[in-house]
Amino acid sequence: MRMSKLRADIQALLYLLPFLVIYILFTIWPMIKGVNMTFYKWTLIRKMKYIGWDNYSRMIHDKDMWAAIGHSVIFVVLTTPTMVILAIVLAMIANRKSRLQRLYRSVFFLPSVLSVAVASFLGLFVFQPYTGLVNSVLHLVNLLPENTEIFWLSETNLSWIAIALITLWWTVGFNFILYLSAMQEIPDEIYEAARLDGANDRQIFFRITFPYLNPITKTITMLQIIASFKVFMQIYIITGGGPLDKTRPIIQLIYQTGFKKNDLGYAATMSYMLFAILLVLSIFQYWLNNRKGANA
Amino acid sequence: MKKRLSLAATSLLSISLLLTACGGNNAGNANNGSANSGNNGAAATDNANSGNAAANAGGGNAAATDSEEKVNLNFWTLFDGGDGANMQTLVDEFNKSHPNIQVKNTKLVWGEYYTKLITAVGNGNGPDVGISHTSRLPDLIDQGVVTDVDDVAEVAGVDWSTYNQNLLNATIVDGKHYAAPIDTHPFIMFYNKKLLKDAGLLGEDGKPVLEQSADGFMKFLETLKAKLPAKVTPFALSNSNDDPYRLWWSLYSQQGGNDIVSDDLKSAAVDKEKGAKAADYIQKLYTGGYIKKNDPDFYKNFQSGTAAIMMTGVWATGTWESTKGLEFGAMPIPKIFDQEATWGDSHTIILPVTKDNDPAKRKAAIIFADWVATNGQIWAKAGHIPSKPSVLENADYKAMPYRSDYASVASTVKFSKPSTKNWQIRDNASFKILNEVWANKLEPTAAMDKLQDGVQKVLNE
């Protein structure tokens, strides 16, 4: 018995080996190499100089880095809850038995198929002053007096709103699809029984639908937090991190440090900082899910 | 046991997921690098023997070598649009007239060009010939990406005195020539003739009626604002980054302001009084309503005929020319302060470091570079000012409108000092701080203090 177990393990390992080799070679090894980089002054042309913990102490005192992390956190706070709540609402709309069901599904999901460049440029067209859709509409309905403009993309707070709205429109479809499929897993009998017992819509949602969606909600929230933390491209295209670097997220700072300032060692150090943050969040999520041992 | 294993596996998996975002860029670059290196490698082996043979045969008899052995050059450029097409024309013409030197033009995306160049050269897979902005040259030299060209220039018989000395001097670092400048692309002023006429500000000669002084230019704008419909922008300019910075640099230099970096390139040396005066003047253009606030696209504004004047680099000339119904003129930016000066940069042809620094290739490369400069009339189509005064006398060049109206600017361009940090100073200090001034969130004098600190910080890093 014991022998065959061992054999089975060896067999499994053999099957896994090709993948394992590639995984170690292209994922684990670069990660170790990356940690190594953080101890060097390392340029694109690979002029390297060992500088010990300098990159780390520089990072601790780097106001720009903390600001950039702050901006990424702002983005996470702005988008995660809205992204989850809106996805549920949209999924509920699309899950209703209605003739428009198919239309809803495609309309809600459609923006997700756009590339980040397309989505961002649409965002620019919508929010830019003088000719943008939002200001034009506001002018049209006289909410905005003539000869005044709202500068969505050049005021810090407004540009956050613009960026968050564009991202929301563009990416909510993915969460929506996850919720929709989860909702369809909930057996109809439960709803029927609830109706027979005289439950109203609100009760049905909070007592049945939402609890059933609990596991998927946790998953979506975590995925969303990680995705939002990694925000870069749409901000880069829409505001370039401005005004005055006030919307520059940590990934953009890493990119600029590595490839524009030619300082790969320090960029790597900041990458591991971001990595540490995401790791802590992931572990926290893992712990949260396993606390009662029930939910997957 | 099992649980721990799965925990380890999950965390490894999530780690790799998290890291992929940061790795993306790297991978992209690496791919491109290797793709290019493939081409290069093939070209290199083709030539390895012939190149060496030529070098050996060359010796004292340098002039003969290029008629004996065929040399293939790999040329990386960062031009797109009209610039890209003009450079391709130049390369084709060169290949036709030089059967023994064949240049292969590889167009890279401008935003990634320098990163790729540096990485490729670092890997030993760089091109034989490349392009660099004059302002970027010191950084490339410092990193060991670019070689000096004095030896090959001598062998190939390049006559440096045929170049505009202002442009040439900006490419000399520590007494050595590092590049052949092919143009300068300074900051100039464009004007809409129709609108100026409407405002009564167009002279008989088709040039603006404008007194060249601080008050004169302000009055000029005031008249435009008063006489033209409210929808017309007197002065189209962006509200951030490059172009207002270029204007600031020009006005700062017009007062004789020192470079913002000291002569030894080690410390910030902002001439605060002059800098503040220039910044204050430009700030008033924004707050006075002469420049449209947060104009989303000031090029389009001018192009569609809703802006009276605009300032940007000479490269816009080609664009305006091909715009139907746009009657425009081009001229040097007004002399607002004491002396004529403007912002400008140059495209130069460089010889990156290669694995063997093959003398035959290097010689062919400098012949090519010098030829491109000599045939600047093709390059000038986009609007650039050719780097050789002789080209300005060329009939083809003279036949092109607008160019001669601003060709004189080449000698008044104020280049920045050969600091290795030029681009970082620009992006991370100058732009950032001056943008705040244009947004009226920072006083010009306070901005100069900040600029001094910002430049110093970049230099220290």
- Name the residue ranges covered by the structural domains of chain B: 71-182+346-414, 187-344+420-460
pLDDT of residue A39: 92
Question: What are A145-192's pLDDT values in tens digits?
Answer: 877 888 888 888 999 999 999 999 999 999 999 999 999 988 888 888
pLDDT of residue B39: 37
- Residue B372 and residue B105 in contact, taking contact as beta carbons nearer than 8 Å: no
Residue A13 lies in a domain: no
Over chain A, what is the mean pLDDT? 89
**Are the Cβ atoms of A275 and B122 closer than 8 angstroms?**
no
A138-157 residues touching B, CB cutoff 8 A? 147, 149, 151, 153-154
pLDDT of residue A293: 52
Domain B71-182+346-414 belongs to what topology?
A: D-Maltodextrin-Binding Protein; domain 2 (3.40.190)
Residue A237 lies in a domain: yes
**Are the Cβ atoms of A128 and B296 closer than 8 angstroms?**
yes
Q: Which residues of A touch B11 (CB under 8 A)?
A: 279, 282-283
Tell me the residue range of the domain where A221 lies. Answer: 68-294
User: How high is the ipTM of this complex?
Assistant: 0.78
Residue A57 lies in a domain: no
A10-69 residues touching B, CB cutoff 8 A? 23, 27-28, 30-31, 34, 43-47
Question: What are B23-74's pLDDT values in tens digits?
Answer: 333 333 333 333 333 333 333 333 333 433 333 333 333 444 445 678 999 9
pLDDT of residue A268: 93
Of B10, B121, B436, nearest to A244 by CB-CB distance is: B436
Residue A3 lies in a domain: no
Over residues A279-291, the mean pLDDT reads: 85
Q: Which stretch of A52-56, A202-206, B31-35, B142-146 has the lowest confidence by average pLDDT? A: B31-35
pLDDT of residue B4: 55
Closest-CA distance of chain A to residue B268, Å? 18
Closest-CA distance of chain B to residue A271, Å? 7
Residues of chain B predicted below pLDDT 70: 1-68
Closest-CA distance of chain A to residue B118, Å? 6
pLDDT of residue B317: 92
**Are the Cβ atoms of B11 and A230 closer than 8 angstroms?**
no
B187-344+420-460 and B71-182+346-414 share a CATH fold: yes
pLDDT of residue A52: 86
Question: What are A72-83's pLDDT values in tens digits?
Answer: 999 999 999 999
Q: Which residues of B touch A37 (CB under 8 A)?
A: none
Residue A92 lies in a domain: yes
pLDDT of residue A295: 47
pLDDT of residue B59: 37
Q: Does domain B187-344+420-460 fall into CATH 3.40.190.10?
A: yes
**Are the Cβ atoms of A31 and B121 closer than 8 angstroms?**
no
Element (H, E) at A49: strand A48-50
pLDDT of residue B53: 39
Number of domains in chain A: 1
- Residue B124 and residue B71 in contact, taking contact as beta carbons nearer than 8 Å: no
Q: How many CB pairs under 8 A join A and B?
A: 97
pLDDT of residue B23: 38
CATH (domain of A80): 1.10.3720.10
Which chain A residue lies closest to B19 (C-alpha atoms)?
Answer: A275
Give the pLDDT band (50/70/90) at residue A261. Answer: confident
Residue A10 lies in a domain: no
pLDDT of residue B42: 37
Which chain B residue lies closest to A270 (C-alpha atoms)?
Answer: B22
* pLDDT over 90 at A19, yes or no: yes
pLDDT of residue B26: 37
